[in-house]
Structure 1
Amino acid sequence: MKDYIVRATAADAQIRAFAAVTTGLTEEARTRHETSPVATAALGRLLTGGVLMGSMMKNPEDVLTLQIKCGGPIGGLTVTADAMGHVKGYVNHPEVMLPPKNGKLDVGGALGQGILNVIKDMGLKEPYSGQTILQTGEIAEDLTYYFAASEQVPSSVGLGVLMNRDNTVRCAGGFIVQVMPFVEERVLRQLEENIGAMRSVTDMLDGGHSPEEMLSGVLSGMEVEITDTMPAGFACNCSEGRIEKALISIGKSEIEDMIRDGKPIEVKCHFCNTAYTFSVEKLGQILEKQNAVLG
């Protein structure tokens, strides 16, 4: 099943819902960053939450950033997504290993205590920024709390990553369901019953459920309208030109030191781990550009 996102409404638009399968993009992130199983689970959940929240934005140029700063051994995570189904991200310590907890990967233990920052850059003078304290470190519950506390939107978030024995990603995905201010009590009760009776996201995905089928379960007994589907994928907009601009910005003396070392340098993109190599000759050209900028 290829990665994609489904957007839907239910109960005469009293509920809006989003679901996705993200197995491919989570596996790509695992491969690029060489993440341990628990780091893969944490990053996959945040990537899934990010791509779902990104799909809520209206304009192609809108950018969402989810950043977790935490005291656990994973050190923190950052994910960036747009409104077109593109997402990228990384963990500070991809090698972290922890014993299982209750037979499952201990994502909460890897994160520990911390904060979740949500930044939405929608082309306004200042980006929107919201911050909440991590509730469990399991990410889905933390996003549920963020929606209620920062955006005052009652929501239910389900996220899951299941690993194979060889530590590749078996399946990944999730859903976000939100109720509108005018929701009727009977609709809310039905939704709560459905969520309480649902299997886990990984159980559903491993059983072959599509995003549409996940939503039909969480929205059982309601009239559901699928409004849109779109592909999802891991995508990074880094380039040699962008890295070169970053090098220009670090300062003349630092570049001169690199040139004096007489060795090429390698710079890696945080988000996708792509390596860019700059020869001594290229560093000299960058220094010339910097001198031209400085006049």
Structure 2
Amino acid sequence: MKNYALIATAYDNMARIYIGNTTNLVEEARQIHKTLPTATAAFGRFLTVSGLMGLMYKDDEKLTLQIKGDGPIGTMLVESNGLGVVRGDIINPNVYIRAKKEGKLDVGAAVGNGFLHITKDLNMKNPFTSSTELVSGEIAEDFANYFVVSEQTPSAVSLGVLVNVDQSVLSAGGFIVQVLPGASDEVITKLENSINGAGPISRWLNDGRTIEDMLEFISNGTQKVLATKELKYECNCSKDRFAKSLSALDNQTMDELIEDDGIEVECHFCKTKYNFTKDELIKIKDNQ
């Protein structure tokens, strides 16, 4: 099943909602990066919110999002765009920390204290980067804080990843609800109450309910779906791209690689490996 997101408004355009099912996307990332449960939950939440945030921009606009915490996971990096495509990297996938509450994973402890950095490439002269401090390391609260502090947009963010006993992903998803200018106190209160009453989106999805069901619950039936977008984990790496990167190395480094009689490079995002023979390296150097 393809993962997808809905972009909608509610309460006569007083709120905008981005909501997505990312179950298969997060499971694919888990398999690629071989994450243990708590790392799966953290990385899955980060991929989900990054994918939803990417949909706020044009198809050819790109975001690079980085969570740099002092917890055992270390740094997580995700790239997303307006097409709903994400790819990411996690420094330490081998993190499994249980919370004191039964059945919970302690994502906050795994991420720790640090910063959220977001770079927007909007096809202008220079990309723009903004940073906010992590509030809890739980990802959703950290992004809600980012939207208020950096974009002055009051937002509610909910993210969930449910991990099975075999460490596979049972369900994953999330939503971003943004209050638009002119929203009344009554509408804000209704949104707050419905969001608080909704519970984890991962539970909804695992129970067989859909993001359409949750959208209707959150908006109290006032939703107007503007678009449906596919969400997917996809890497655009290639041997030619790596060859171009190698061509940027200095002569001394290239000579050392040539002496090694060929090298193997691995993509951080999808773990695909590319081999370059000695002759290929010599050709790359000669074409510098």
Q: Given the alignment, which residue of 272, 278, 288 partners 1:280?
A: 278
CA drift at 1:204: 1.0
Map 1:1-295; keep pairs closer than 5 Å: 1-57=1-57, 59-103=58-102, 104-220=104-220, 222-262=221-261, 264-290=262-288
| Alpha-carbon distance in 1 for matches of 2:50, 2:100 | 25
CA drift at 1:99: 3.5
Cα deviation per residue 1:69-100 (whole Å; 9 max; x = unaligned)?
A: 11111111001111011111111111223234
Letter in 2 for 1:252: N
| Alpha-carbon distance in 2 for matches of 1:100, 1:194 | 26
| Alpha-carbon distance in 1 for matches of 2:110, 2:39 | 8
Alignment: residue pair count = 287
Cα deviation per residue 1:222-252 (whole Å; 9 max; x = unaligned)?
A: 5210111011100111111111111111211
Moved over 4 A (4+): none
CA RMSD of aligned residues (A): 1.2
CA drift at 1:2: 2.6
CA drift at 1:141: 0.6
The sequence identity of aligned pairs, in percent, is 43
Give the conservation status (yes or no) of the 8 Å contact 2:51–2:85: yes
Letter in 2 for 1:287: K
Give the conservation status (yes or no) of the 8 Å contact 2:216–2:222: no
Q: Give the TM-score, by structure 1 length.
A: 0.94
Q: Which runs of 5+ in 1 are unaligned?
A: 291-295
SS, match of residue 142 in structure 1: helix
SS, match of residue 4 in structure 1: strand
Cα deviation per residue 1:74-127 (whole Å; 9 max; x = unaligned)?
A: 111001111011111111111223234423111111111000011111111122
Cα deviation per residue 1:195-223 (whole Å; 9 max; x = unaligned)?
A: 12111122111112211111111111x52
CA drift at 1:159: 0.5
Cα deviation per residue 1:142-188 (whole Å; 9 max; x = unaligned)?
A: 00110011101000001011111111111111000001111011111
| Alpha-carbon distance in 2 for matches of 1:16, 1:99 | 34
Q: Which runs of 5+ in 2 are unaligned?
A: none
Q: Relative to structure 2, which stretch is displaced further, 193-202 or 131-140?
A: 193-202
| Alpha-carbon distance in 1 for matches of 2:214, 2:2 | 15
Q: Relative to structure 2, which stretch is displaced further, 98-107 or 199-208?
A: 98-107
Letter in 2 for 1:80: E
SS, match of residue 285 in structure 1: helix
Letter in 2 for 1:228: A
| Alpha-carbon distance in 1 for matches of 2:41, 2:234 | 19
| Alpha-carbon distance in 2 for matches of 1:251, 1:175 | 46
Give the conservation status (yes or no) of the 8 Å contact 2:8–2:227: yes
| Alpha-carbon distance in 2 for matches of 1:41, 1:196 | 21
| Alpha-carbon distance in 1 for matches of 2:217, 2:126 | 39
Letter in 1 for 2:128: Y
| Alpha-carbon distance in 2 for matches of 1:243, 1:208 | 42
| Alpha-carbon distance in 1 for matches of 2:110, 2:136 | 11
